[in-house]
Structure formats: structure tokens, C-alpha cells
Amino acid sequence: MSEKRLTIDYEEFASVKGMTAEDQQLVAQCLEAQKGSYSPYSNFQVGAALRLANGVIVKGANQENAAYPSGLCAERVAMFWAGANYPDVPFDTLAIAGSDHGVLCESPASPCGACRQVMAEYQKKHGRPMKVILVGSKRIRKFACVDESLTRPAPSELPQGRNAARVGGRSGAM
């Protein structure tokens, strides 16, 4: 056995005051996006604001459904809408904020694995880093790219045809 070390680089801010005006605007938009949350089951409101390379900001909010897991996270709402409406425009920065019963969480909420994988997929599609800002009331974290928050994404080149159940040399039940 050999021991390995993983380090993750990010910037941390006590408030938006130390951030660029562009990032401050994106944070404000993700906080505003929380108002569109439909979360009657968890009472956890998530807002996302995605700045595209052309300057357009797309907002998303989590949408729950009694038929769990039929809902969708705020991050994927924003990314899928942007991907459908601006398919060739790279994603620049994604800001995410979570509130519990309407109160912004002290520590930044972190995207789920499915959202992180979608983030990695779009970053790869566009061939450039996508920055990620995680917003909490006591601290804000900014990552230079998705890779810093997702250490090992699933393969994005999935096999086709009869070998579709085999991914990365491992067979898996589908």
C-alpha cells in the first residue's frame, strides 16, 4: 500500500465584498434564484446562477416532487436550460446557494454527485474550465474549475452497442 495526498485549491471569502463586481452579481443572482425553489418536502431551497461566456446569466432553482427522485437540483435546472438554449456557448461560472427553511446556510451547500458530473461533462464539452462559487452566510468558496470539486468524474465517453454495460474496463449491472 502507498499513501497518497489530495489537495484542493480554492479561494475563500468572508463576504462578497472581496469578490469582483462580476462575481458579486452572480452571487446576488443565485440568492435571488432561490425564490423559484419548489421544496415543500425538504424545505431546503437551492438557487443557482450560471454565467455563460457571452455574459448571459441563467438561473435555476431546485424542484421537488412527491415521486422522489423525480425532482431536479438547481444546478442542473440552470445547466440543462442553458445547454438547450445556448448549445454552443461555454459556461463560465456557476454560483450555488442553499437555504434551510428560508435561512441561508452558514457553510456553503455543495453540489450532489449527479450535478458535479453534469458540471464536469459541460466543462469537457466546451473545452475550458468552469469556475464554481459556493455561497454560505459565513463563507464563500470559489473554485477555479469543476475538477477541484469533483476529484474523479465518471467517464464521459460511454461505449455504444452491445458493450454499453462495460464502462472503463469494468462490467456493471444496468
Query: Diameter of the chain by CA atoms?
Result: 54
- The reply to whether 157 belongs to the active site is no
Q: Which of 142, 147, 174 is nearest to 159 (CA)?
A: 174
CA distances from 94 to 39, 48, 99, 150 (A): 21, 7, 17, 14
Radius of gyration of the chain (CA): 17
Q: Which backbone phi and psi does 123 adopt, to 5 degrees?
A: -60, -45
Tell me the three cell numbers of residue 136. 454560505
Catalytic residue among 3, 75, 148, 157: 75
CA distances from 167 to 121, 123, 156 (A): 16, 21, 10
Distance CA 80, CA 66 (A): 22
Cis peptide before 69 (omega within 30 of 0): yes
Q: Which residues are marked as active site? A: 75
